[in-house]
Every structure is written in C-alpha cells, then in structure tokens.
Amino acid sequence: MTTPLRIAVVYPDLLGTYGDGGNGLILARRAQWRGTEVVLAQATSDVGLPEADIYCLGGGEDGPQVRAARSLIEDGTLTRRAGAGAVVLAVCAGYQIVGKTFPGADGMLHEGVGLLDIATAKGSGPRAVGEVAGEPSEDAPGALPALTGFENHGGTTTLGPGVTPLARVVYGVGNGDGSGTEGAVSGRVIGTYLHGPLLARNPALADLLLDWALADGPVEVPPHDPASDRVVVAPFDDSAADALREERLAATMGSRRGRVRLRRRR
Amino acid sequence: MRFRFAVFTTRAVNATSRRLGRGRGTVAGGRSGLKVDPQLLQHLTASRQVVLVTGTNGKTTTTRLLAVALGAGGATVVSNETGSNMPPGHVAALAGDRRATVAVLEVDEIYLPRVLSATNPAAVVLLNLSRDQLDRTNEVRMVSGHWRAALAAAPHATVVANADDPLVVWAAGAAAQVRWVGAGLRWQLDAVGCPSCEGRIAFDAAGSWACVTGCGFVRPDPSVTMSTGGEATGGEATCGEPTGGESTGGEATGGASATTYYGEWADGRSERIRLLLPGRFNHSNALMAAVAAEAMGIAVADGLAAMADVGEVAGRFTTRLVNGVRTRLMLAKNPAGWSELLDLVGNDDGPIVISINARTADGADPSWLWDVPFERLARRVVVATGDRCRDLSVRLHYAGVAHVMESDPLAAVRIAHDGHDGHDGHDGYDGYDGAKRAERDGGDDADRTDRERVDVIGNYTAFAELLQASVPAPVGT
C-alpha cells in the first residue's frame, strides 16, 4: 500500500466507556506489524468525522449515545464511507446506534445510523452484565475461532433479514432477543455487544478486519514457541492474547461451574 | 433501649470477629447493629459534628488528612479508617468510639445520598467522579445526579467541591453553601458530556471548562486553587528516605527536584502544602481537606501543618517488605487513579510490579486497563501479576512495554527485585534480559535514592492482598 491505512476511533468522548479505544490501537499495531503505514485518529465529536478505512465505535452511556447517533446521522461521513466499502466495527452502544432504532435514557426509541438491519429495544429484565462466549455462526465471515468478551447492556437487539448473526451464544446473553445469537454482520460492518476490548481477546477478528481493509489477503504469521508462562511478547506474537483467550474461554465454556452459571443467568 | 442494644451488638460482634481472627470485623459488626436498629447511623451521629468525604479517587487519603487536621483543633475525632465506606463500616467505627465529638466518614459514591440524610453533616467533601467498577456503576453521570438531589435536600451542609470536575460541580450546584476548590482533574474523559444540557463540555489547556452548547454551565470561580511552585531547592521533600525506615519522601525518587504545591486563595492568601505523601493528587486531597477543616473552624495553616506528618495512609506509599523485598505499595484502581499515579512513577526507571484482580470489590470487568496510558512505563521493566495478569499482559504488549508475567504476586515481587539486581533467577527470557539491559544502560544509577526498592501497584483487592502479606521495612535496611 502506498497510502497509509486510516483507522478512526469514532467519538471517544462519547463512545469509549469500556476501554473500546483499545480496538483502534490493536488494529493500528497489527497493521504496523504487517509493515503497513497507519494513521490512527481519535475522532472526537466536536469536529467532522474524518475519512477513514476502518471505523471503530465503542460503548457509551444513554445520553451520549443519543448525541453520538444524532451527530453521525447529521455528519453523514460514516454512512457514505461504509457504502464505499469501509470497515465498521461497532461495539455495545456503538452496535445499537448503527442499527435502525435504539432506546434512549428517556425511554423513547431513537433513530440509528442504519448501517445494520437491527432494532434494539429496552430489555424487560435486569442488565446483561458478564462474560460472554460464542461460536461464530456458519455464515459469519472468515474462519473465526470462538469469540470471547464481556457484555454490559440493558437493550435487546432483534436481527432483520438484512444481517446475519456474528455468533451463537454459548455463555452469556448476547442479543438477548431469545434467538441465542450475538452480534450482527452485513458486508464489512460488524456489530457486537462484546467488549473487553473485543479485539484484545479476539486477535483473529482484528486480522480479518485488516484483511478486508487492506485487501491483500491473510498474512502468514510466524510461529511462536509458547514455552513458558512467563513471556515477553514481541510483535506478531499472540501468546499473551492466546493465554488470555484460554483463561476466559475456560471460565465460561470449559468449566462445569461455567455451565451452571450459564443456566442461572439465562 | 434498642439503640443501646444495637451499639452493644455492633461492638460484641466486632470483638468476637477480631478474636476469631476473621479480619477486623468492621462490616460484620456494623451489619448486626443495623439489623437491631435500622436507624443506628442516625442515632450514632445525632450528637456529633459530621463531615463526609466522597469521590471516585482519594477518599481514604482525604478522610485521613481531614481527621488529622480536625484533631489538631483539640477535638477527639472518630473515622472509618479501615476503608469500610458503607453504612455498616460507618456504624462500626462510630460504635467503637462513643466519646469522639467529631466524625469524619469516608463514603462510597453510591451511598452518599443515604448517608447524607442519615447523618446531617456539617460539611461534605466532593473530590471527583469518574469511571470505576464498570459492571457496578456504569453511569457516573447518574451518580452525579443522585448527589445533586441529595445535596439540595441538605441545606445546612457546607459543600467543599472540586471546581475542576464538571460532574462534581453539577452535583454541588444544587447545594446551599459551596466552597469551590480548584483542585485539578487529570482524567477528563468522563466529564465531556454536559450534565446540564446533554451538550458538550470543552476543557482548555489550563483545565478551565465550559459547556460549548451555550447552556451556561461553566466552571465556577474557585475560592482557592492549587498551584505548583518552582522547583524545590535543597533537600526539602526532594528525596525519599535518606535513612530508610517508614517515612517516604517526595515523589521524585528518580532524583529530579520535586514540585512544590501551594493553595492560592482568591483573597490573596497563599499557603504551601507540605506533605510526606507523594504526588499531585495527594496535595490536591490535602487542599480539599484543609478547606473542609477551615469550614469546621480550623485555620488553614494549622490544618496543613497537622497533615504534613502523615507518612502513610492505609499502608500506601510506605516502604514495606514483601517476600523479603523492599517495596513501595500503591493503589490505583481505575483510569483516573492511574493517570495520576503514572505522573508519579512514569519517569522512574526501576522495576515495577502491577497486580490486577477482578474480584467483586474490583469489578468483574478489567477492560478499563485499555484506558490507562501504560505506554508511559516504556522505560521500566514491568512484572504483570494478579488474577488478571493475562489481560494486563496483552495491554502491555500493545503498549510496547517489556514485561514478564507471573500470576503469583509474591513471586512477581521477587522476580522484579532479582531481575533488577542482576541476579538472574530465570534464564532464557531474552526480552526481559534485553529490557533489563536497556534499563541499566539508560538509567542513571546516581539518580536513584533507593535502588533496591520495587514499586508495587495493585488495584483494590490486589493491593489489599499485598499489604496483608507485607511487613514494615526495618529501619536502615
């Protein structure tokens, strides 16, 4: 690539409650490890959204979430860029606002950006708070391994025919509409309730997004010897992330205790 | 009658709990007492002067400093020093000392409205509000709103509020009497949304702020502001522990001159804030405490003078032995606390142990680690430990910080120390050796006053665990 890869963290002043800025950082680092030049923008809400190849949206509180949606619709850049093939990763409140409707603090339904054919309503039960594990659904893009993350949301999201679910929930709540699904995908737009942040726990998903944005196909990752528990990691070494994934997935999918807790939470 | 039995129960359960070795028993006794008399907190504070201290960060330190300052006036002061900052902890502390005429209570942010209405305080100190324990308090703005409603219903309380934190200003804005303090705010990201009109708050480089949407919500003019003076000359609060022992010196253990801090009053007064405790944030806490003490009749100079001798607060900042290693234990449990602490430790070059847990008291979601600018530790060798050392390791990896992972905190302290000494007890970790070399080559040995000491920072339960496992460092080691 001759031009740098442009990554924008969308409105970190409104949408960044759950360390979601980490997703942008992780994408930037992994692209740099591939030898790609990167521009990582923290695109605050007081200025127009910059042109970018990848947009990351994170979680936010109810009030700021409404402001973010309104501002993104007025600005128009996100819709235009997504239509032109830019990658969008939308997490939690960000996931809700790239859909068609979402609930605000006032209990009213607000208009979303409309990149995904999903509708979110206020859930009737307690907030979904806790670990999530999911198996990528068959029609999800790429060949992703199990997804792990942490959810914290009050809304339930229903998927329309224009999207496919990102994953089938193995542990936790996810979309919470009774379908047992988590997240939604349409083209190069991915929405999910998983934070942690998402890409820290799921580097394969980060690489898939970079493959899309760079359009240069999957990159061979040199093997690493995970000989020790005490590791100093070097670029392209995912031993730290692998250890984290193993721990989190064991805490949810693997253990008997996890299954018991799963039943209770549902 | 019920009240007296409740007090008896509280003390008896606490004493039994202590005797059985089940901790300090403050919560167990307090809970039992509140069961016997649900109005126990009201009854125990009815005939005392009460001051409440709350905020996301600095509660424990400010409470301690304020208690010391009020004690300087000759009053007997009771305080929940153990950090049990919900009503059972308050009740336990108050029942344990019936003679004290003044009570200084640290209050959990969520519990402020309840404690406020129960205790009819003379003063309330509001330090700051920011994200903490994401799975428990997902909306700090809502907390600010609850404070506001509670303070509006407490017209007799003097509120001492940080004018630099818009969420605090929103809460205090409904109070009848407010003393605004320009105490500073390092972490501003949680205050960008205007709590008044849902618009946007803009901060300028000097830390002043206003709602840019034009609703009129602006930083109030403080009656006192903290300022930093020129570099200190001579040995005043510049170097830590010339002779070892319990006292910790200024923040610049790396040898640079320590900053000096002043309270500058709008009426022209100026007072130097001298503390044994290090860091901008502790001096800011001291200024808040001094203003609260002044509201209670203690002259600012007298209050500050009393605080100057406080060398540790609940085990923090002192030199202690952990697994035989001299350490400086510190607590940071959220991005705002970390932002302040990184100012303190980011420029040092010694080894540092970071321990992260995600137990109930910490919050189950450690994704806040990604809001902490750990990049600033690039000069230091980090040992990542605690229940969630893997989360930390991934964060440090992307921050480009060389580190070792060891899930056992005590072993981690030992590794940090041995690696630092050059006694390499773990061959084969090239990255670590390389990082050590870089540290040796880059660091100026003469600059360090206590090269043997390892900085150890934990979040809530991780810190408590390390403190529990530590002993005071003998003088002269």
Tell whether B377 is covered by a domain.
Answer: yes
B370 to chain A: which residues are within 8 Å by CB?
19-22, 25, 197, 200
| Alpha carbons B159 and A25: distance in angstroms, whole number | 41
CB nearest to B367's CB, from A63, A197, A228: A197
For an interface test with B, which of A44, A131, A230, A231 has the most B Cβ atoms less than 10 Å from its Cβ? A230
B371 to chain A: which residues are within 8 Å by CB?
16, 19, 21
Q: What mean pLDDT, rounded, does chain A reach?
A: 88
| Alpha carbons B337 and B132: distance in angstroms, whole number | 10
| pLDDT of amino acid B442 | 41
B404 to chain A: which residues are within 8 Å by CB?
230-232
Mark whether B222 and B343 lie in a shared domain: no
A39-48, B184-193, B326-335: lowest mean pLDDT where? B184-193
Residue with tokens 């997004």: A209
| Alpha carbons B39 and B120: distance in angstroms, whole number | 13
Cβ–Cβ < 8 Å for B129, B55: yes
Q: Would you kindly state where each structural domain of chain A is located, as residue ranges?
A: 5-217+230-265
Q: Report yes or no: B407 at the A interface, CB cutoff 8 Å.
A: yes
Tokens at residue B147, please? 């404070």
What is the pLDDT averaged over residues A203-232? 66
Mark whether B353 and B249 lie in a shared domain: no
Tell whether B467 is covered by a domain.
Answer: yes
What is the pLDDT averaged over residues A28-48? 93
Mark whether B141 and B190 lie in a shared domain: yes
Q: How confident is the model at residue B66 (pLDDT cuts 50, 70, 90)?
A: very high
pLDDT at A155 over 90: yes
Phi and psi torsions of A57, nearest 5°: -115, 145
Cβ–Cβ < 8 Å for B448, B252: no
Q: Report yes or no: B369 at the A interface, CB cutoff 8 Å.
A: yes
Mark whether B286 and B340 lie in a shared domain: no
CATH number at residue B390: 3.90.190
| pLDDT of amino acid A255 | 52
Mark whether B283 and B350 lie in a shared domain: no
| Alpha carbons B118 and B91: distance in angstroms, whole number | 11
Q: Report yes or no: B414 at the A interface, CB cutoff 8 Å.
A: no
Mark whether B294 and B325 lie in a shared domain: no
Q: How confident is the model at residue B431 (pLDDT cuts 50, 70, 90)?
A: very low
Q: Report yes or no: B392 at the A interface, CB cutoff 8 Å.
A: no
Give the chain A residue whose CA is nearest to the CA of B191: A13
**B398–A46: do the CB atoms touch at under 8 Å?**
no
Which residues have CB under 8 Å from B101's CB, separation 6+?
A: B48, B49, B75, B76
Q: Report yes or no: B143 at the A interface, CB cutoff 8 Å.
A: no
* Of the residues B259, B278, B307, the one at which a domain ends: B307
pLDDT at A13 over 80: yes
Share of chain B above pLDDT 90, in %: 66
B-contacting residues of A 198-257, CB under 8 Å? 200-201, 228-234, 237, 240-241, 243-244, 247
What is the pLDDT averaged over residues A53-57? 98
**A13–B403: do the CB atoms touch at under 8 Å?**
no
Q: Please state, in angstroms and as integers, the Cα–Cα distance from residue B155 to each residue in A48, B151, B404, following that order.
A: 44, 7, 54
Q: What mean pLDDT, rounded, does chain B reach?
A: 86
pLDDT at B426 over 70: no
Q: What is the pLDDT of residues B111-132, one digit of tens each?
A: 999 999 999 999 999 999 998 8
A-contacting residues of B 159-198, CB under 8 Å? 189, 192-193, 198
Tell whether B35 is covered by a domain.
Answer: no
Phi and psi torsions of B195, nearest 5°: -70, -15
| Alpha carbons B384 and A240: distance in angstroms, whole number | 11
| pLDDT of amino acid A242 | 93
Share of chain B above pLDDT 70, in %: 85
Give the chain A residue whose CA is nearest to the CA of B393: A240
**A229–B407: do the CB atoms touch at under 8 Å?**
yes
| pLDDT of amino acid B135 | 78
Tell whether B162 is covered by a domain.
Answer: yes
Which residues have CB under 8 Å from A46's CB, separation 6+?
A: A13, B200, B202, B212
| pLDDT of amino acid B399 | 95
Question: Which of B107, B79, B92 is closest to B18 using CA atoms?
Answer: B92
Mark whether B65 and B191 lie in a shared domain: yes
Cβ–Cβ < 8 Å for B335, B185: no
Q: What is the pLDDT of residues B127-179, one digit of tens each?
A: 999 988 877 765 788 899 999 999 999 999 999 999 999 999 999 999 999 99
Phi and psi torsions of B211, nearest 5°: -75, 125
Which residues have CB under 8 Å from B477's CB, separation 6+?
A: B244, B321, B326
Range of the domain at B144: 48-82+104-307
A7-16, A111-120, B2-11: lowest mean pLDDT where? B2-11
Q: How many domains does chain B have?
A: 2
B135 to chain A: which residues are within 8 Å by CB?
129-130, 150, 152
Mark whether B78 and B208 lie in a shared domain: yes
| pLDDT of amino acid B22 | 55
| Alpha carbons B184 and B162: distance in angstroms, whole number | 7
Mark whether B302 and B331 lie in a shared domain: no
Q: Report yes or no: B200 at the A interface, CB cutoff 8 Å.
A: yes
> Does a cis peptide bond (omega within 30 degrees of 0) precede residue B166?
no
| Alpha carbons B179 and B157: distance in angstroms, whole number | 11
Give the CB-side neighbour count of residue A169, counting CA atoms within 13 A.
29
Q: Report yes or no: A133 at the B interface, CB cutoff 8 Å.
A: no
List residues of A with catalytic annotation. Answer: 92, 195
Tell whether B89 is covered by a domain.
Answer: no
Distance from CA of B359 to the nearest CA of A (A): 13
Q: What is the pLDDT of residues B13-24, one digit of tens each?
A: 888 877 765 555
What is the pLDDT averaged over residues B194-204? 89
**A197–B370: do the CB atoms touch at under 8 Å?**
yes
Q: Report yes or no: A45 at the B interface, CB cutoff 8 Å.
A: yes
Tell me whether 0.85 is exceeded by the ipTM.
yes
Question: Which of B415, B416, B372, B420 is closest to B396 using CA atoms?
Answer: B372
Give the chain B residue whose CA is nearest to the CA of A233: B397
**B138–A127: do the CB atoms touch at under 8 Å?**
yes
Q: Choose between B137 and B227: higher pLDDT.
A: B227
**B198–A63: do the CB atoms touch at under 8 Å?**
yes
Mark whether B256 and B330 lie in a shared domain: no
* Of the residues B249, B274, B307, the one at which a domain ends: B307
Q: What is the pLDDT of residues B365-382, one digit of tens each?
A: 999 999 999 999 988 889
The DSSP string of B443-454 is: S-GGG-S-TTPE
Tell whether B182 is covered by a domain.
Answer: yes
CB nearest to A232's CB, from B394, B407, B429: B429
Sign, CA dihedral B84-B90-B92-B96, equals positive
Sign, CA dihedral A77-A79-A80-A83, equals positive
Mark whether B414 and B446 lie in a shared domain: yes
Tell whether B193 is covered by a domain.
Answer: yes
Amino acid (one-letter) located at B157: A
**A25–B370: do the CB atoms touch at under 8 Å?**
yes
| Alpha carbons B213 and A159: distance in angstroms, whole number | 36
Q: In what order do the strands lie in the sheet with A128-136?
A: A147-153, A128-136, A167-171, A181-182
| pLDDT of amino acid A218 | 47
pLDDT at A11 over 90: yes
| Alpha carbons B311 and A124: distance in angstroms, whole number | 51
B200 to chain A: which residues are within 8 Å by CB?
13, 45-46, 67
A17 to chain B: which residues are within 8 Å by CB?
131, 134, 138
Beta strands of B38-196 (E only): which ranges?
49-54, 77-79, 102-106, 123-126, 158-162, 177-182
Sign, CA dihedral A232-A237-A241-A247, equals negative
**B405–A14: do the CB atoms touch at under 8 Å?**
no
Which residues have CB under 8 Å from B348's CB, separation 6+?
A: B253, B254, B379, B380, B448, B455
Q: Report yes or no: A20 at the B interface, CB cutoff 8 Å.
A: yes
Question: Which of A186, A178, A183, A143 is closest to A166 using CA atoms?
Answer: A183
Distance from CA of B347 to the nearest CA of A (A): 22
Q: Report yes or no: B406 at the A interface, CB cutoff 8 Å.
A: yes
CATH number at residue B110: 3.40.1190.10
CATH topology of domain A5-217+230-265: Rossmann fold (3.40.50)
Distance of CA A63 to the CA centre of its chain: 21
Cβ–Cβ < 8 Å for A55, A81: yes
Mark whether B148 and B109 lie in a shared domain: yes
Q: How confident is the model at residue B82 (pLDDT cuts 50, 70, 90)?
A: confident
